[in-house]
Chains A and B, each alone.
Chain A
């Protein structure tokens, strides 16, 4: 498979001083990359750099071989799904929240999915009891997170970045989100998931550790600045 996202000697400094140093990481299409490491080590920054929510001080991040700086940010981001640690829903109904991306100029050519498609997605993430007209803000945190995942998936991203998506969820919701993530990977979606817990996916995955601003781990296809591979 071709490399979908590639960090080429990327360094990034936080306002406080520390940051990521000379990160080299190449993720192929269809990979499931599990990123772990202590709090504040730079795991989330890695994802934020991939989504261009932060810009590297030096080095290049490429998406499908093209430097991110050469891509129009909205067009890039509609190809990358990004799931935040804390789900964010807007005022309005479940339907309005799910269709939010279609109100943006970059997605205007896309045909919004029908209610049937939306309901199928809700059923798939065990939200069958949630109606499309329900108020999104009234859902539990776990339900909101699942809603956010569907919202990202509706745009059919090529890469899904998940920043500790289950850290605020109860056990049941966590299990549902983890299962869905693995299913999506089995269907061919590339996943980079940051996890602070001892979660180990049931699908073949690559473990990457971020520690003291350096990235370690990966399999033979990954170029690392400190190769200590762990392939599960």
Chain B
């Protein structure tokens, strides 16, 4: 760790540091200017005679305009640069490696598409864009990796995502950054960045009997979803084949894209946005029945029923 900067371990970290450098320079110059004038005036115009009566200077409109507009121009650069990088955080490239992270008081549970699971550890390869899908079992947490200059709140009741591309093998802190109760400061872990070969070895070594989609399929049977959501001639419930990422006609009119948020809502509270042609009260409410990890597995299974995943935006 440097004296002023945490390690830089992703493509974004250097970009954020460069922007920070720009702000340090602009703000540093501003601070020095103000300090200089305050000290300089205080010394030069210090009271030498108790009866001094300096002449009044009421102000200057050109000066007011100058010192409002010029700093604002520098701020516009901060705004534009910061916004550009921020928007980038939200728009992942194609072919990301998807990692599913569930926060719960007070641990991070991590699941990989291949079915590998671990707690308070995250393994990712260099040179590969990684998309993290965040869910919370209880309160708000915040998944923070300083070496990637990234954090995102983990908000119960919704999925949040961000992505990064690791560059530098090593072990880096994971912190929970949103206060979440007693052991908030122990809700920490390690992100391990490995080169692709080592990562492949790690994946193989940690491979379980079933991958995430297969685990989801098992839950699909276990919860009885399969009795109604049949593939052929669906009557009581819509087919889930080729559903993910495609538009759905709703019962009350209108359409939505079947993304993660919609699937989540339709599993937990099916009546809210029922599909056109199906009764909204047939499917039971699963709110409180399935935990967040299980939900994510179901999600991956339903995704796997769609051959093409294009058009799916989280």
Q: Do A and B come from one complex?
A: no
B residues sitting closer than 8 Å to A (CB atoms) are none
